[in-house]
Amino acid sequence: MSAGDPIDPSVGIAGVLPVERTAGVGVYGPPVWLPLRTGLDGGEVKVGCTFDSHGSQHGYECGGHHDRWAIDFIADTGTPVYAAGAGFATNITGQPGGSGFGNVVRVDHGFGISTVYAHLAGVAVDPAGEWVDETTVLGMVGSTGSSSTPHLHYERFALPSGATSVGQEASVDPGPLFACRAGFLVSFPQVAGFDSWQGLAWGSLTVASDGPACAEPTPEPAPAPDASASSSEDAPAGADADDEAPGPWATLIAPTLRIVGHSDVWDAPLG
Ligand SMILES: [Zn+2]
C-alpha cells in the first residue's frame, strides 16, 4: 500500500508500518535489537553500568560514569557487535561525537534517531559507510578510548524536534532490546524482571540472543492435497501466495513494542 492509503482496520497497524525486518539499501529501521548475541564462550553477557545505575567494577563508579541513557555490556575483546536495527553505519572514530569512545560506530536509523557502539577493538564498517541491519557485524568489543575494561558502550540518541545538527543529539531511553532465545522473542531488561534500563545495579542481569531469526515470517504451510473442495478448485498454480503478507514487524514486533511503549515515529508512513 502507499503512504496515502487509509488504514484498513482489518490489518490494524500492519497497514501503516513502513519497514520490514529484512532491510535493504535505503531502508531505515528502529534500533530495537540487542546488539550482542553471546560472549565468545557462548555464554551470556553481563550488563554493567546503565543510566543512573550504581555499583562499581573495573575501576569506575557507575554513578559518575553514566549520567545519561547508555548501557555497558561487559564482554570479552573480540565479541561481535551487531547493529541494533537497520540504517546507515559510519565509523566516527576521532570525529565529533566520537571523543573518548575509542573506535566507535554510529548508525543513523532515520527519523532523527541514531545509535552508537563504542570502545570497539576493531571496526568492520566500510570506510565510506554502509547500510546495515541487525544481522550486520559492526565491529568487535574492545577497550579503546576512555575505557578500563573490554565492554560495549551502547547508546541511543535522538535529535530534538527543530534541531538540525548531529551535535544537538540527546541521549535517550534505548527502550526494550529484543532477542530471540530458544525460538521465542524476548525483550531485555523486561524478561529479567526490570521495567527499564535505568537505575540498575551493576551486574543486575545478563543478556544473550540467538539472533533475530525468530522474527522471520512463518513459511506458508503447503496446501493439503485434498483442499480443493471449496471454490479454489481452478485457482491458477502459483497464484499470489505472498499477497503482501505482513512481515514480522507487523505481526510480532510492532504489537509487542506498542505494549511496552514504543515511539510512534516508525509507524508514520514514509515520504
Ligand atoms: Zn559506557
* Domain presence at residue 23: no
Quote the pLDDT of residue 253.
60
Residue 1: inside a domain: no
Give residue 159's domain range: 45-217+242-267
Q: Which is nearest to 235 in space by CA: 223, 217, 246?
A: 223
Q: Look at residue 197 and tell me if it is in a domain.
A: yes
Q: Which residues contact 55 (CB under 8 A, 6 or more apart)?
A: 49, 62, 201, 202, 203
The domain tally of the chain equals: 1
- Give the residues across from 158 on adjacent strands: 113, 170
Return the closest-CA partner of residue 200 out of 65, 68, 47, 38. Answer: 47
Cα(237) to ligand 1 centroid in Å equals 56
147 CA → ligand 1 middle, Å: 8
- What residues are neighbours of ligand 1 (ion), with CB under 5 Å? 72, 153
- pLDDT above 70 as % of the chain: 68
Asked whether the whole model's pTM tops 0.85, one would answer no
Check pLDDT > 90 for residue 186. Answer: yes
Q: Is the residue at 14 inside a domain?
A: no
The tens digit of pLDDT for each residue in 107-128 reads 999 999 999 999 999 999 999 9
Higher-pLDDT residue of 83, 6: 83
User: Is residue 9 assigned to a domain?
Assistant: no
For residues 149 and 225, which has the higher predicted lDDT (pLDDT)? 149
Identify the residue with better confidence: 15 or 153: 153
Q: How far is the CA of 259 from the centre of ligand 1 (A)?
A: 28
Element (H, E) at 188: strand 184-188
